[in-house]
A and B are shown apart, each in its own frame.
Chain A
Amino acid sequence: MSTDRSSASHGDGSPATFWTPLFLAWLLALLATAGALFLGEVMGKAPCVLCWYQRIAMFPLVLVLGMGLFFSDARSVRYALPLACVGWGIAAYHLLVFWGVVSEGLVPCGKGSSCADADVQVAGMVPIPLLSLAAFTGILVALWMARRRARA
């Protein structure tokens, strides 16, 4: 049983309790990735520069956490946390740009779509950076829980 072996190697006798929060974090990353691809490739909304940086942080989480889940490996949290933190930071900054708190002049938005454009909304009301920030927040919380349980 690979599950027991890897959890035992992290100083916990009980079956890996970190698995459920890890699964939640992965599921959020998977849904966010599918959503981003749908918006970009199917609905044809060209991602702006800041969206691309968030994608760079989000997409690998699916693979890193997926492997962690597959082999019940709590160490995957360690590799996922920096990605999720960076992604959260960029999403928060993007939301400030979108709301006009930070001027877009400071953002490296050259050609392509604007990061402060009203087009950056789903169903005309929810800004995409807000969705992204919510996803990264959820992932961070779930990863933090997984880490605590793996250490317990």
Chain B
Amino acid sequence: MNRKWIVLGTVVAVVLAFVAGVAVFTSRSNQDVKQAAQANSDALVRPHSPVFGNPAAKVTIVEFFDPSCETCRAFYPIVKRMVNASFGQVRLVVRYAPLHEGSDTAVKILEAARQQGKYWEALERALAAQPQWAAHHRPQPEMIWDLMGDIGLDMAKARADANGPAIDQLLRQDIADMQTLKVNRTPGFFVNGIPLRDFGEAQLKALVEQELRKAGSP
């Protein structure tokens, strides 16, 4: 009987130590990410990034985005709705975190479409067909070109732009900023510079609400 209590007591002790470890580790890494965001606020928004919504909005959602990421795909309509429902008080800044194989190519194609003013059309097409071109074992980002056949792009120019130095530079900057800001999962959200650490739709909405209140809007 006594020995059974030793076993149970050990299990309880190890579980408690584990939980305490989780608490210490999470609070420390949250602190790290918060400090990284505060110390490098210039790395959050770059003038080259796509913006959705009112450019002068009081609340800025920065999303580190990977076109191949399923969760980014699921969050796209959610964030779009939040911006649209805010009456110009919330804007979205898209940054790239190409963590999957082939994502860099996908980003380059989307940015080439942006140079011709067709970014959001291209992005929505690419996300809608994501399961076809972004299978993780065999990504085929080149398929996005075919999806964009009828949105009115000058394809020859777009293909040249996609491999050009401007887009390459933009992607490098985003990857550098992603590392500076310690973003290692996508989507990585920052609302007015505050990292969303407890991930989820409700948590993102709550953080945006909080920033709207801080900005003094109804």
Contacts and interface: CB of A to CB of B under 8 A. Distances in A.
Interface of A: 3, 19, 23, 26-27, 30-31, 34, 37-38, 42-44, 66, 69-70, 72, 111
Contact of A34 (B3, B18, B137): B18
Interface residues of B, number: 17
Interface in B164-213: 184
Given A31-B14, A42-B26, A43-B25, A111 B136 contact: yes
Contact of A42 (B4, B10, B11, B25): B25
Given A31-B14, A34-B14, A111-B137, A42 B7 contact: no
Nearest to B136: A111
A113 B7 CA distance: 35
Most buried by B among A34, A42, A44, A111: A42
B interface majority secondary structure: helix
Contact of A38 (B3, B4, B21, B137): B21
A44 to B, nearest CB: 7
**Across chains A and B, which 3 residue pairs bring their CB atoms closest together, nearest first?**
A69-B7, A34-B18, A42-B22
Given A19-B3, A42-B25, A111-B137, A30 B11 contact: yes
A70 B7 contact: yes
7 contacts: A23-B7, A30-B14, A31-B14, A34-B14, A34-B17, A44-B184, A69-B7
B6 interface: yes
A122 B215 CA distance: 43
Contacts of A66: 7, 11
Given A31-B14, A42-B22, A66-B11, 10 more contacts: A23-B7, A26-B7, A34-B18, A38-B21, A42-B21, A44-B184, A66-B7, A69-B3, A70-B7, A72-B3
